Amino acid sequence: MSARYEELKGLKNLGQKYAYTDREVMLYAYGIGLGADPMDENELAFVNEGTFTPRPLKVVPTFASVAAWGSGPGEMNLNRVMVVDGERDITFHQPLPVAANITADSSVLEVYDKGKDKGVVISHQTVLKNEKGEKLATLVASRFARGDGGFGGPNLTQPDPHKIPSRSPDRTIDIVTRPDQALVYRLCGDRNPLHSDPEFAKKAGFPRPILHGMCTYGITCRGVLQTYADYDASAFRQHVARFSSPVYPGETVTMDLWKDGNVISFEAKVKSRGVTVIKNGKTVLG
């Protein structure tokens, strides 16, 4: 077994401490576009706590993806310019509180070496827990390091993704992103200059900064919230998406959704460029 494979597979970081308040909760919701209509009470519930008629602030389920921003199994020593998000799978064990002190336990699950010049996919898990040690959410992420393959890892096959139904979508919705959306979303934690620095983006092979993949992921959660979840954040049990192409801030994201019992399948595209940006999406409601 290669030493590099063993090094990556053995990464683990337990008991990482984080805290967040309603400020971070509202910023995340605004960062994925909620609240664009200041008169929409359904969306305001995620970005405003109410004054004359108090109401509890709601937490977008995928806020879990930034609640412990910076947590992870350890330094992977990858070529940062060539790293992109591959997939995200969050299981929600209980609704996230509006403010909390939490811990994060992170470990690498598997390493898929695709070969020289083909990159490597690293799958890792982070479990968020409250102060009582109860699980809040389990996040499984895969990152595709395009410049780091070929170190002799085992020949493993990644699990098959969720299959989208072959019938026509049950619903289709358009979600508009703002030209400055990446500049807002980065304040949730992800300061990767790929999303804010035109020069950096060009060196990475893009004509201009792209929207964070995890912002697009949050947008798909928003799409399910407004269609099949009736804006009930506590209904989410799982939210999975595979990233296939970037969104540029200002573009319109079109979501196709299929409902089969408590499982919502979805894909997302940018029609103006004829590209699919999210594949094999799945939300489990309960």
Q: Tell me: the pLDDT tens digits for 236-271? A: 999 999 999 999 999 999 999 999 999 999 999 999
Domains contained in the chain, number: 2
Residue 117 pLDDT greater than 90, yes or no: no
Return the CATH number at 100.
Answer: 3.10.129.10
pTM for the structure as a whole: 0.94
Mean pLDDT value of segment 12-40: 97
Domain of 83?
Answer: 1-159
pLDDT bin (cut points 50, 70, 90) of residue 198 is very high
Quick check: is 190 catalytic?
A: yes
pLDDT bin (cut points 50, 70, 90) of residue 11 is very high
26 found inside a domain: yes
* DSSP per residue, the chain: --HHHHHHHT-EEEEEEEEE-HHHHHHHHHHTTTTSSTT-HHHHHHH---SSS--PPP--GGGHHHHTTT--S------GGGEEEEEEEEEESSPPPSSEEEEEEEEEEEEEE--TTT-EEEEEEEEEE-TTS-EEEEEEEEEEETT---S------PPPPPPPPSSPPSEEEEEEPPTTHHHHHGGGS---GGGT-HHHHHHTT-SS----HHHHHHHHHHHHHHHTSTT-GGGEEEEEEEE-SPPPTTPEEEEEEEEETTEEEEEEEETTTTEEEEEEEEEEE-
Residues 7 and 136 grouped into a single domain: yes
4 found inside a domain: yes
85, 105, 113, 190: which is the annotated catalytic residue?
Answer: 190
Residues 184 and 137 grouped into a single domain: no
39 found inside a domain: yes
**Among 159, 183, 206, where does a domain finish?**
159
Residues 190 and 262 grouped into a single domain: yes
195, 212, 239, 256: which is the annotated catalytic residue?
Answer: 195
Quick check: is 93 catalytic?
A: no
Residues 177 and 153 grouped into a single domain: no
Mean pLDDT, rounded, of the chain:
95
Predicted local confidence at residue 53, as pLDDT = 87
